[in-house]
Structure 1
Amino acid sequence: MADDPVAVLDFWLGEIGPEGWYSVDAAVDQEIRDRFGDLWQAACDGGLEHWCEGTVGSLAFLILTDQFPRNMFRGEALAFATDPLARDAARKAIAAGWDLGAPEPERQFFYLPLEHSEAPEDQATAVRMFEERMPETGAEGLLHAHAHAAIIARFGRFPFRNAALGRASTPEEEDFLSAGAYAAEVRRLRG
């Protein structure tokens, strides 16, 4: 098990890189499970909170608890299991200004846990962070922050998580899902 925040960063920022961060790739998902599954479990169990004391450790913790589970457990409830840990770490890092110590576009990983939240106040903070703290590369991230916020404003939750979380979809949510869901919302905002 890799137990160093730098191992997480080297993998996600270096090996995977921006072109792979939002791709769906079963081989990458498996590699993350194999290399970082035990480390994710350690974070889930509260054993890595000491990482959240500066830019580097916090960034690695956020990738481990917000990004990696979405790959490791794609389509399952466990994909969202460490979201509360990631949100708490993101809030702490933003308040301390540690996010500003990370270059763009890596800085976005400090804001994504808030963008992934189903709480409207977190959505508002994510939008504001992309507006204020991602001046060079944040336009695309800001678009996605607005898309997430619009979905939460409309439904109060992310309907595309309903199946994984065992939640029943409303007729309005079913219409949204059948009309293209998140991708359709992004297209709407681009237009």
Structure 2
Amino acid sequence: MVPTEPARDADAILRFWFEDCRPWQWFRQNQRFDQLIGKRFGALCLSAQAGGLSDWEQGASSALALVLLLDQFSRHVWRGESQAFAGDARAVSLSREALRQGWIQSEPECARRQFWLMPLLHSEEIATVESAIPLLEEWADHATARIAQRNLQVLLREGRYPWRNQ
């Protein structure tokens, strides 16, 4: 496990993702961007995937930073590898807990709500993706909800996401 200073590390993750990066960077494949995330946050991703950083689950900001590590940053650090998805179950659990705690509902920034909910649309469980659609429509945006609808159609047809076959 990586020793961390939770507030500092969580703030650095949130600042990087929501202030330093531009939205177009979040979803485009870019090797340099992937490498930057790996260099800056790869050790924290590993720790999170190994079940570490559990103290981050206690507050909204640090829990969102943990979701980003597990759901988004891991996809950049291990693009094209199965390890990219190793944090998905924990990220889904954190997303659901954020709903129970009211953290998503009280978050004023749409982008932060979107990334709180993103693990639900990445899930390969049909019921989880189905539940994500109305949440994304209410708390994020219609474009992200449409992606969840497309993901649901793929799961209904294929039973999983075929692009993860590699």
TM-score by length of 2: 0.90
- Residue 156 of structure 1, aligned match among 148, 155, 159: 159
Q: Is the aligned partner of 1:7 residue 2:2?
A: no
Which runs of 5 or more residues in structure 1 are unaligned? 164-191
Cα shift at 1:73? 0.6
For 2:80, the equivalent position in structure 1 comes to 75
Report if the CA contact (8 A) 2:110-2:139 is conserved.
Answer: no
- Aligned partners of 2:139, 2:15: CA distance in 1, in Å? 23
- Aligned partners of 2:31, 2:14: CA distance in 1, in Å? 20
Q: Note the alpha carbon deviations across 1:5-61, whole angstroms, 9 max, x for none.
A: 111001111111312110111111001111101111111222212112232112111
Tell me which moved more, 26-35 or 102-111. 102-111
- Residue 65 of structure 2, aligned match among 51, 60, 66: 60
Report sequence identity in percent: 36
TM-score by length of 1: 0.79
Equivalences for 1:48-127 in 2 at 5 Å? 48-102=53-107, 103-127=109-133
- Aligned partners of 1:13, 1:142: CA distance in 2, in Å? 20
For 2:137, the equivalent position in structure 1 comes to 131
- Aligned partners of 2:101, 2:91: CA distance in 1, in Å? 15
For 2:146, the equivalent position in structure 1 comes to 143
- Residue 42 of structure 1, aligned match among 17, 27, 47: 47
Tell me which moved more, 80-89 or 101-110. 101-110
Moved over 6 A (4+): none
- Aligned partners of 2:64, 2:106: CA distance in 1, in Å? 10
Which of structures 1 and 2 has the bigger CA Rg?
A: 1
Q: Note the alpha carbon deviations across 1:117-154, whole angstroms, 9 max, x for none.
A: 110111011112112223xxx02111111111111111
Alpha carbon RMSD of aligned pairs, Å?
A: 1.4
Count the aligned residue pairs. 160
Q: Note the alpha carbon deviations across 1:159-184, whole angstroms, 9 max, x for none.
A: 11012xxxxxxxxxxxxxxxxxxxxx
- Aligned partners of 2:105, 2:43: CA distance in 1, in Å? 29
- Aligned-partner SS, 1:100: coil
The code of the aligned residue for 2:160 comes to R
